[in-house]
């Protein structure tokens, strides 16, 4: 074990050989995905507020279609977002098959 002079903790001498846990690319993808999710949530709230709640089942279906259309618009407007959409769809398919 080697003492780290900056933090005062002991570290293994092999720590400098390990790659960083998260790369810059992963961070960018995460930030892009979270910004899309934030846009979707805010749009979903706007759509929910604009549709009267008389027939709840039909309203949920209508809201879901409008949110899906908005999400598809976001994903089609940028090539990078389109790639993220494919990843998100694959993740959703995998999770639904596991559950």
Look at residue 66 and tell me whether its pLDDT is greater than 70.
yes
* Triad 27, 33, 34: Cα angle to 5°: 90
For the stretch 4-54, pLDDT in tens is: 444 444 455 555 555 545 455 555 555 555 677 777 777 777 776 766 655
With the C-alpha atoms ordered 64, 69, 72, 77, is the resulting torsion angle positive or negative? negative
Domain ranges of the chain: 24-98
Q: Is residue 32 within 8 Å of 81, Cβ to Cβ?
A: yes
Q: Which residue has the higher pLDDT, 98 or 12?
A: 98
Q: Which of 69, 61, 60, 12 is nearest to 40 (CA)?
A: 69
């Amino acid at each position: 074990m080697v003492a780290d002079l900056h933090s005062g903790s002991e570290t293994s001498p092999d720590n400098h050989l390990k790659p960083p846990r998260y790369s810059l690319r992963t961070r960018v993808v995460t930030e892009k995905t979270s910004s899309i999710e934030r846009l979707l949530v805010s749009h979903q709230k706007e759509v929910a507020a604009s549709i009267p709640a008389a027939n709840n089942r039909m309203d949920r279906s209508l809201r879901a279609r409008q949110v899906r259309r908005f999400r598809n618009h976001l994903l089609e407007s940028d090539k990078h977002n389109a790639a993220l959409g494919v990843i998100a769809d694959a993740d959703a398919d995998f999770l639904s098959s596991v559950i």
